[in-house]
Amino acid sequence: MKKVVPSTIIVGAQWGDEGKGKMVDFLAERIDIVVRYNGGCNAGHTVKVGNKVFKLHLIPSGVVQRKIAVIGNGVVIDPKVLVEEVESLKNEGIKLNLLISYKAHVTMPYHKIFDKRKEAKRKEVKIGTTGRGIGPTYADKMKRTEAIRILDLVSEHFSEKLLRILELKVLELLEFGLIKSKDELEDYRKKIIKEYSLYIEKIKEFVFDTSLFLNKSLDEGRTILFEGAQGSLLDVEHGTYPFVTSSNTTAGGACTGTGVGPKRIDKVIGIAKAYTTRVGFGPFPTELNNDIGEFLREKGKEYGTTTGRPRRCGWLDTVILRYAKRINSLDELVLTKLDVLSGIKKLKICTAYELKGKVMKEFPTSISALEKCKPLYIELDGWKEFDGNELKEILRKGFKALPKNAKTYVNKIKELVGIPITIISVGPEREETIVLKD
């Protein structure tokens, strides 16, 4: 196991779904606190321990390791999903030590309706939302006058604040059929209060000043793992806008989303698959709409944890990994799902793009340019499937026991991206992990 530093950010280096859940669970063994800093229940982090599979959407993955789990202020919380997740973990015998920021914003029932129906109205220009109400929740957060925070939810003034907000939203409520006339506004408010009062009773014990807790914990010598949701290319500022999520998925989001300052961050680790996937719409230069793409999808079980949507699959793209390295200040890279590539005779890695006859090694600044980019590849020999005994030997001996061509593939990625690869995942189990020396 690698040496532990006080505070480490885990960030997706592609379009999300890189295997952050497994790696947070793996690294959390020697960590005191895991804090989720962005996104909402549109995220899906899967942790497999033996025969049990935990699918988490709001609570940090480190909770499976019985660590202190913190939901930071940068997260938007659907109370219904949160309560279901808490109860599911309790039913699995996991004792929760959960803290929720009182500054986190709350997804309301109308947010989910707005999300789904606005996406339906976009027709040809859909952005690929999950329909979980995340975008509208963040939009209300930025409006400042139409948002509910956790501190409002657990306040005695929740009901009256909700009424003021519904009055501001009356035209939208009418447009999307949530009320038929303004006279129904009070009944709609009562309906929400009745539902959400059940959730309030179950989560109010967890509400806390988490920024204060995290900073004091660092002062006291505790270790913290900052868990990001989605991936760098889905960041609302630096991703493939508008085909992005509504939060800051990059490392900077860990500071704004938790109230821990940047000088207190010691390390940033990027998580990347050994190939590339993305869900939803938007440009994807190395996408494979062929048998190999289908092979990666089926072997890699590339279906969304939250929505079940099939993921688009393609060759590894080191242009976006170098971009992720730059915008996150990545110190090292964790490579997941290397095992999925086993059995493919010839592998390709994208090293640059071609745009209008020019070679581009840096990620383009505009979405229209990215849509026109042609990937430029190098080709490497693949390796055969390794059986159960060979996998055991690889896990026992480490990197040196990998097939020669697999080692060449990993070393080529390290060379092209320009940062160390320190951990390799070769299966979904916690133990199916190879730790390399720096």
What are the Cα distances from residue 33, in Å, to 9, 93, 302, 368? 12, 19, 29, 41
* Spatial separation of the C-alpha atoms in residues 43 and 183, rounded to whole Å: 37
Mean pLDDT, residues 371-397 taken together: 92
**Averaged confidence pLDDT in the chain:** 92
The pLDDT of residue 438 is 47
| Residue environment code for 151-170, b if the CB has 16+ CB neighbours within 10 A, otherwise e | ebbbeeebeeebbebbeebb
Percent of all residues in the chain with a pLDDT value above 70, rounded to a whole number? 97
Least confidently predicted of 74-78, 142-146, 434-438? 434-438
The pLDDT of residue 124 is 63
Q: List, for residues 246-263, the tens digit of each pLDDT value.
A: 999 999 999 999 999 999
Percent of all residues in the chain with a pLDDT value above 90, rounded to a whole number? 79
Q: List, for residues 413-433, the tens digit of each pLDDT value.
A: 999 999 999 999 999 888 999
pLDDT of 412 > 50? The answer is yes
- Which residues are catalytically annotated? 17, 45
* Spatial separation of the C-alpha atoms in residues 314 and 17, rounded to whole Å: 13
The pLDDT of residue 126 is 66
Pairing mode, strands 312-314 and 276-278: antiparallel
Query: Which residue in the block uniquely carries the two structure tokens 């900052």?
Result: 226
Q: List, for residues 35-87, the tens digit of each pLDDT value.
A: 999 999 887 777 877 777 888 889 998 888 889 999 999 999 999 999 999 99
Residue 83 burial (C-beta neighbours within 10 Å; 0-12, 13-18, 19+): middle
Q: List, for residues 313-331, the tens digit of each pLDDT value.
A: 999 999 999 999 999 999 9
Which residues are 278's β-sheet partners? Answer: 312
Q: List, for residues 289-300, the tens digit of each pLDDT value.
A: 999 999 999 999
Q: Which two tokens stand for residue 147?
A: 């948002």
The pLDDT of residue 125 is 66
pLDDT of 120 > 80? The answer is no
pLDDT of 277 > 50? The answer is yes
Mean pLDDT, residues 350-360 taken together: 96
